Structure formats: C-alpha cells, structure tokens
Structure 1
C-alpha cells in the first residue's frame, strides 16, 4: 500500500455511541410529547404540546440508506422523542411514498432531484453533501491493488478484472447511478481508451446500499463505490477520486450534468452535486423539533458528511412553523 499517496485515507472506526455523540453539543433537544403526529399545525399542536410528560410521541423517518448509521447513532441519541427510522435506497424511498405504501413524518433522500419526481412536496431543505469514493479492503489482494493504483489509476485493476467490486442498484439508489456517472466522468478525465461506464459494471456487483460496505467483512468484495461518509463511519480505507469525478464540487455542476440515467419510471436523472434533502410531511411540535435537529445538527459531520456554510437551504413554500 502506498504511504505517500495522500489521496488514500485511513479512518479510525467510530468507537460506539460515545464517539457518535461527540459532536452533538449543538443539536436541538426535543421535549417529550404524547399524541399522534398530524398533517396540520393548529389545534393538534396544542393538544400534543399540552399533554404533559406521559410518554413520547413516535416520529417516523423514511431515509436514504447512507443516512442510516448517522440517524440511528447520531440523531436518535440526541433527541428525547422516539424516532423510528426505516432506510432504503433513495429511489425506493421516493417510490414507497409516492405510491402510498409508506406515510412517514419525515422523508430524507440522497438526491433532491427525487423531490421533483416521483415526490413533489411543496417544500424541502438541502442539509448535507457528500462525495463518491472507492473504498477497499486492505486485507485482500484486490484491495491492495486498488490502493497501489491510487487516485490516478484506481480504475486499471477494475478494468483488468483483478478486483471483486461492489456497487448499488442504479434503479433503486442514487449511489448506484452516481457510480455510473463517476465512471463516465472518469473516462473523460483520464482519457481512457475504453468507456469505463460500459466496461466495468456487471450485474453481479450489485448489493443493497445498507449492506454494501459490510460485504468487506464477509470477504465478498475487495472494493466498492460508496459515499465518503459510509467509508469514514465504518473506518475503511478509501481512494479519493478527483473533483472532476466525485460529484462534490459545486463549480463543476455543469460538467457533472453531462452524465444521466433513466430510472424504471421513465424519469431521467442528470449528474450533479451530491445534495441530501429532507421534507416534513406531518406537523406537530415533536416532528418539527426532530426535523430541525435532523437538518441542523452537528452530528452529521461526525459521520463523514459535509455541511456547507449556506446549509440548511430551503426551497419552495416553507411553512411558517418550520421557517421560525
């Protein structure tokens, strides 16, 4: 493994709940409430807020798989309300809600384009960014090949078939189609003779987002296209990709948009800056407080996400109770 390549990073594993809690001092605390979450913000709020300390209102969240660890081990310990998290690939999250199969209080996805279609909320907020990296298992021969190749050559052992690779399903998950975008952009950036988007992906590489990085532990894969936060929070080695490829640079948004992917619904998603978005669907004091802690909490940086200075950034007809 190259020890001079600063683009190959090593991150210590987060040490349980204590470490996960280390950056939570700035998070909003949520008071306990009883009662059901509602779709309005009027008399129901007074009923929920005046119920006293007889229990805690359950707040349901349907979220991107890449947020799951941060929500379970960062957000939930920071609030007093009971938060019920269900995580899937973001495209599946959007379809579950759009089709009426799920009715969560809060929906959070890894691509705000999903709020244009199939979801069409009146408003949403962007609250964090990320980047695509190639994580690898330093204990396997294939993983060491990726490490040795570094930022300028990580794709070569993948092309040679010398690495068992993992990725997520582009039909279910933004990470899946962002992997394809990164490969297409890498073809242009490195000037390769082969089209990397066509040459590298195979169907046997696909794993659910919530299980992808855990495949290192089973020895099923040597390397994986993943989000930076997923590698950081699990302490895995990874190769950082150039800004022209990793979808993290706001100044390169136009170049990213040259790549696209058509979902099974017929919607075409374009490449762009990775931006996580969330909307609150059912209003009560407890759901609003959990939402505020979710999109404003410092806990996100502890789990490898990046929060630009202008975030959280709101779009659409934001309710006064949320804006306040």
Structure 2
C-alpha cells in the first residue's frame, strides 16, 4: 500500500560546464583497434554517464580521453557488431554484459534511481509537483502533462521506465495499467537530450535517472523504493517486469547497476579505468556508489582487481 501522501521534492546545485557536455556525443570512438598507442584512451559509454565522464573523470586523469555516449543497449550492439572498438565500455545495465556483449569480466561501480523530473515553469510541470510522490501519474494519465522518456530499444532508462510504470500500477493500485496507459511514441527522446527538452519547452516532465535531474539542477520527485529500482531489498519484485529487446534478449527488472570493462588493456587504459570505477567524482553527479563498489565479476586480471 502507498505511504501516507507526502511531497518529496529535491533541488540540487548547478554543476559547472554541463551544458556543452550533455548536449550529445563527445568525440568519436574508432571502429577497430581501439586507441592503444595513440596517447588517447577511448570510452564508449551510457548516455547518462556522459556529463560525469566529461566533467568529473576527464580532469582527474592524465591521459587524453575520448568519450562517445549513446543509450547502453545501442552501445552494446555497436560493440557486439564490430562497429565500434573502444578501450573501455561502460553501460547502465550489467545485464547487457550477458548478451549482446560477453566480456571475460566487468566491474559494477555505481547505482542510480528512477525519478520524475519536472519543469516548475510550465502548467504541466506544476501539476506533477502538486500531485506529489503519491499522485504524479494522475495528471500524466489524464493528458495534462507532456511527458518525455527514452527508447526502450536503445537504452536501459527506456525499459526501466516501463518497469517503473508497471511496478507503480501495483504499488498504487491504479485502475488502469500505467505501463500501457502512459507510454506514447512521441514522448521518446535520445537519452543525452531528454532533460534538456525542458529548456526548449517540449516537455513538462520526464521519467529519468536521478543523476540526470541532479546534474541539470531540475526539480524532481523521488519515488518509493518499491518503484524506483534503487533498492536491492526489492530485487525480487523488480524482476517481475521484463522487456524484450529487438535482438530477442529478454531483460528482467532489477536494481540499477552500472558496469564497465576494459577491451584493450594498456597502462594508460588501466589508469583511466581505475579512476572511472573507483574515483570519488560520481556522487557529485547524482550517482550512488555503495561501499562494496567497485564489485568485480568474472575472470578479473589480478593487476586490476588487486
């Protein structure tokens, strides 16, 4: 049952330099051979990581860093099909390391949460804010809010949005299935451009990662842990939601977990990787880093896990 009605809204400080970094892809990762030996370390990463990598990781490493960002499902597909060959791959869902990618090892390094971000300058955004944590879906279902989301075929945020809507249906006991009642095709935007649609006036609210709202200093509603995919204690209930990617791979719902692996192991790549998965820059960009992270899976080289 829902908790007693209450409104939980947070606003975070503006982070310097984010506009340019979050506007889209930064750099271009080559199609073969990585970038070993060129003095440049290439990363192909989840779109939701782009700002943290550009403004948090880049200043913390000595190597010249080239970052390209897309939705994680797209990233995994580009690498699996040989269209991209970066030194480091970082995804927003470690499930994608079990197909289409199949690395020998990877490190889980951060977590996140699903939130409802909104624009308080628009009528639709104010409706979401007024409805609060226990009623945010009502003005969206009634068509009073222009909502933004991402493509579930391209990135985990897209299918996690569907998971959250399905879980919200059960949590709030709604008459309508929110997973079928809310999504419309014209709501979809690229992950790296989703929150910036507030600035163009295209949307009033967005289902997004908390980190995305934090880094752009937008108001947002925290959702109950039963819905927001942040709490391992609810892993079993999260797993009741699934989504089938175009490849046929079926993704189960679960706690949000970011993972990374090295494809071309060189000292400069290793240095960047260590700063990436163990650095202290992530919390400033809205990510959580549990005490037991980075957490390694697979046949991890001793010089990395050691």
Partner of 1:144: 126
Partner of 1:260: 242
- Structure 2 gaps of 5+ residues are 22-33
How much has 1:80 moved relative to structure 2? 1.1
Tell me whether 1:86 sits opposite 2:87 in the alignment. Answer: no
Compute the RMSD of aligned alpha carbons: 1.5
Partner of 2:111: 129
- Structure 1 gaps of 5+ residues are 21-35, 39-47, 49-55
Tell me whether 1:95 sits opposite 2:52 in the alignment. Answer: no
**Structure-2 separation of matches of 1:187 and 1:128:** 27
Q: Which one of 203, 222, 226 corresponds to residue 240 of structure 1?
A: 222
1:146-200 per-residue CA deviation (whole Å, 9 max, x = no partner) reads: 0000100000000110000000000000000000000000000000000000000
Q: Which one of 55, 72, 87 corresponds to residue 54 of structure 2?
A: 72
Please list every run of at least 4 consecutive aligned residues from structure 1 whose deviation after the TM superposition is greater than 6 angstroms.
none
Q: Which one of 132, 135, 141 corresponds to residue 153 of structure 1?
A: 135
**How many residue pairs end up in the alignment?**
288
What TM-score, normalized by structure 1, do the two folds share? 0.87
Whether the 8 Å contact between 1:132 and 1:227 is mirrored in structure 2 is yes
1:39-96 per-residue CA deviation (whole Å, 9 max, x = no partner) reads: xxxxxxxxx7xxxxxxx81000000000000000000011110000000000000000
Whether the 8 Å contact between 1:95 and 1:118 is mirrored in structure 2 is yes
Tell me whether 1:59 sits opposite 2:60 in the alignment. Answer: no
- Matched residue of 1:153: which SS? coil
**Structure-2 separation of matches of 1:62 and 1:197:** 30
Partner of 2:13: 12
Pairing of 1:182-193 with structure 2 (within 5 A): 182-193=164-175
- Matched residue of 1:152: which SS? coil
Q: Who wins on radius of gyration, i.e. which is larger? A: 1
Whether the 8 Å contact between 1:37 and 1:283 is mirrored in structure 2 is no
Whether the 8 Å contact between 2:6 and 2:134 is mirrored in structure 1 is no
How much has 1:9 moved relative to structure 2? 1.1
What TM-score, normalized by structure 2, do the two folds share? 0.92
